[in-house]
Amino acid sequence: MRTCMFVLVIATTSAVSGAESPQWATKDLRAGIIGTDTSHVPAFTGQFRAHPEWRIKVVAAFKGGSPDLPTSADRVEKFAADIQEKYGVEIVGSIEELLRRVDVVLLESVDGRPHLAQATPVMKAGKRLFIDKPLAAGLEDARRIVQLSKETGTPFFSCSSYRFHPDIPRLRDNPGVGKVVKVQASSPFSKLEFHPDLYFYGIHGVEALYAVMGTGCVSVSRKTEGGADITTGKWKDGRLGVYYGPAKGEKVPVVRIWGSEGTTESAGSDGYDGLVRAIAEFFHTGEPPVTPAETVELFEFMTAAQRSKERGGAEVPLAGLRK
């Protein structure tokens, strides 16, 4: 009887969406949102609704919000109303109440400062968790979230949608430029109060950089040039990895690669579909597409960039952040 019911659900889902459920989508999951102060909240909720074959539905949300951060305080009510009115998402009064209603959680708070406190009850409850960028507002909190995941045995991941730019696999695996010498990744440069400079929008470019380069950065230096904000990392194999925050009005590709036999770059732009699909697969399988170790190194890269700025562009070894 159970097998017949399962087949019926799959068939119904496929008929509604026009697509068969992927092999990893084995059951229906109820998702909850913490923090309704980012446009990702209605965007991601809409993506899940547009893909019923993923078998995930956002059913509840806790507003959260940071009164001392206008980017949060000015938007938290609007996006809560959006998902309640458009998608019928229930707004609840606490994280504990949310956890009683859902199977998996998206931590969406735009402010990274409360992420550790907000993630703690989720992980202690054993609910698989996606934490939107930035993972935290500081390196130490990022490490504590990783440690909490280990202690509770609750998998999580955190990343930007730029990691799923459609050109990333080609640029990572077969860029066609001979031996890769330098990779540059770009995203708009915009700061957020209470966070190191690259944590808010710079993180998009840094995520793309790491998606192509992988781990292995040993030192970072940062400078401004012609209105652009440039952070250069040295990798242990000799490659250079650059985050390039373009000057106002400057148009640059998301990724550009220099090699011994030429250059190549990404084309077009990314969207949310790749990221939300990766979140859906993770919620079903528990296998994160980005390892905690890579995410921590990425935050070390951005933290070292901040220290380099404070030291007038001096080179900052990542090893010095690990003592």
Per-residue pLDDT of the chain (323 residues; tens, 9 = 90+): 333 333 333 334 443 456 899 999 999 999 999 999 999 999 999 999 999 999 999 999 999 999 999 999 999 999 999 999 999 999 999 999 999 999 999 999 999 999 999 999 999 999 999 999 999 999 999 999 999 999 999 999 999 999 999 999 999 999 999 999 999 999 999 999 999 999 999 999 999 999 999 999 999 999 999 999 999 999 999 999 999 999 999 999 999 999 999 999 999 877 899 999 999 999 999 999 999 999 999 999 999 999 999 999 999 999 999 96
**Residue 195 maps to a domain:** yes
Query: Given the DSSP bridges, would you call strands 56-62 and 90-92 parallel, antiparallel or unpaired?
Result: parallel
Do 139 and 285 have their domain in common? yes
pLDDT, residue 12, reads: 40
**Residue 110 maps to a domain:** yes
Alpha-carbon separation of residue 180 from 134, 170, 171, 263 (angstroms): 29, 13, 10, 9
Crossing angle (nearest 10°) for helices 76-87 and 40-50: 20
Do 16 and 107 have their domain in common? yes
Helix ranges (H only) for the chain are 2-17, 40-50, 70-73, 76-87, 95-99, 115-124, 139-152, 168-173, 202-213, 273-285, 292-310
Do 105 and 166 have their domain in common? no
Do 94 and 234 have their domain in common? no
Do 83 and 214 have their domain in common? no
Check which CATH number belongs to the domain holding 43 and give it: 3.40.50.720
**Residue 116 maps to a domain:** yes
**What secondary structure, in 3-state letters, does 30-66 show?**
EEEEECCCCCHHHHHHHHHHHCHHHCEEEEEEECCCC
Alpha-carbon separation of residue 312 from 14, 223, 224, 236, 257 (angstroms): 57, 8, 10, 24, 27
Q: Across the beta sheet with 316-317, what order do the strands follow?
A: 262-265, 255-259, 180-186, 240-245, 228-235, 217-225, 316-317
* Residue 100, domain extent: 2-161+273-289
Do 176 and 314 have their domain in common? yes
**Residue 221 maps to a domain:** yes
**Residue 294 maps to a domain:** no
- The answer to whether the predicted template modeling score (pTM) of the entire model surpasses 0.75 is yes
pLDDT, residue 269, reads: 76
How does DSSP classify residue 272?
S
Do 153 and 252 have their domain in common? no
Tokens (6 digits) for 258: 């220099």
Amino acid letter for position 157: F
pLDDT, residue 2, reads: 35
Do 6 and 83 have their domain in common? yes
**Residue 295 maps to a domain:** no
Do 113 and 30 have their domain in common? yes
**Residue 145 maps to a domain:** yes
How many domains does one find in the chain? 2
Ordered DSSP codes for 110-144? S-STTHHHHHHHHHHTT--EEEPSPS-SSHHHHHH
Burial class (CB in 10 A: 0-12, 13-18, 19+), 155: middle
pLDDT, residue 18, reads: 61
Residue 242 CA to residue 205 CA, distance in Å, equals 9
Do 149 and 203 have their domain in common? no
Alpha-carbon separation of residue 7 from 4, 214, 281 (angstroms): 5, 40, 19
Check which CATH number belongs to the domain holding 230 and give it: 3.30.360.10
Do 225 and 151 have their domain in common? no
Do 213 and 81 have their domain in common? no
**Residue 14 maps to a domain:** yes
pLDDT, residue 254, reads: 96
